[in-house]
Structure formats: structure tokens, C-alpha cells
Structure 1
Amino acid sequence: MANAVLQTRIDKATKDEAEQLFESLGLDITTAIRLFLKQAINQRCIPFEIVPPQREFTDSTLAAIEEAKSLARNPKAKRYSSAKELLEDCK
């Protein structure tokens, strides 16, 4: 199989932090990126949950996020087909 070159730009601090992490896992950054791409292809999606940095949230916001995740997983939770329907139910 022929190889192709993939180039990307990223700030130095992020690259350094990623290299340290991957080295601690026994990987280099190229292998880690290759693993990510292969898993994305295999799963046909981003192979992990994308969340904003949690250090930016208050405890009450983190609790609300967890509650929303729990409700989303609960098949018995009421569902709404529109924001209008939700707002009507809040009256």
C-alpha cells in the first residue's frame, strides 16, 4: 500500500502535551493519529465523546450536564419534537 503524507498545523504547547501523553502510553504521535483515523473509519464516527474542557464549568453546570446525559440515555424520559412543544409543557 502506498503511503500518503498528512500535514496539520497545531500550536506547540498542544503538540508537546500530546507527545508527552502518547510517549507515556508507548506511542509516538504519528501512531496515535493513525490509530485515531483507523478507529474513526472502523466505527464510522468520531471514536470518543467530544466534551469541552470541564475545568471551565461550575459544579452546578457539570451536574446539569450529567443530568442531561442521564435523561438522554433514559428510554422512559419524555421526548419533544420541537422547542415549541417543550415550552408548552413548561407552562
Structure 2
Amino acid sequence: MSTATVKPTTVRIEEGLKEQATEFLDSVGLSLNSYLNLAVRQLVNQRKIPFEIVGRAEVPNEATRRAMVIAEAHELGVLPDDSPSFNNADELISFLDED
């Protein structure tokens, strides 16, 4: 540890999240405290959050869930299946070219 003065800080982390983070960090040889210090140091050095922040992708996403519900409704006969069908690519191309 450096000779800099260390001041205690309280950080509130959800219990389950803390357990998951600690488990992973233990596997790579870091404590939660060391990781937080590392992250804050990078924040100060880079003057930006040192990682990309992205939302968790829903699996399946909303568009896929909607398609699944519609497909099941067609299969069960709840919704009429009025989707066009084609016997070959030429019919499909003709349909797509129609105004």
C-alpha cells in the first residue's frame, strides 16, 4: 500500500451483488476493496468511466417475445394466419414489388 493517507468510506452494495462480485474477484486474486480502489484510480487517471456501460440484454427481447406470442396465437387458431405465403422466390419478389 502507498504512504498516502487512507480514509474509510462506506459503500452500500446489494448483498447478492456483493457476493457475486466478491466470488469473482476472489477467483482473480482481488478483494472488493482493491477492486474499488483500482476502479476509482482509473476514473481519476482517465477522467472517464473506464468501461462501457450497457444495459442487460433481455433474452428473448421484447420484439422476439411479441413474435413468439403471435406465432403461438396463429398456431392455436386464436388469430387468423393472414400472412402471405409463396411457392417460390419469384412470387415473393412480385409481392414485394407491388405498390
Using structure 2 for the length normalisation, give the TM-score. Answer: 0.55
Question: What's the CA shift string for 1:22-58, capped at 9, x where partnerless?
Answer: 0111101000000000111110010000011123562
For residue 86 of structure 1, what is the aligned residue in structure 2? none
| Structure (1 or 2) with the greater helix fraction | 1
**Residues 1:51 and 1:57: Cα distance change in structure 2 (over 3 Å):** farther
Alignment identity in percent?
A: 31
Question: Which one has the largest radius of gyration?
Answer: 2
Partner Cα separation in structure 1 for residue 60 and residue 51 of structure 2: 20
Q: Counterpart in 1 of 2:19?
A: 16
CA distance in 2, matches of 1:16, 1:10: 9
Structure 1 vs Structure 2 CA RMSD = 2.1
Q: CA 1:3–1:52 in 2, change beyond 3 Å: closer, same or farther?
A: same
* Partner AA of 2:42 in structure 1: Q
Amino acid corresponding to residue 32 of structure 2 in structure 1: I
C-alpha separation in 1, matches of 2:6 and 2:36:
14
Structure 2 segments unaligned to the other structure (5+ residues): 65-99
In structure 1, the gaps of 5 or more residues are: 62-91
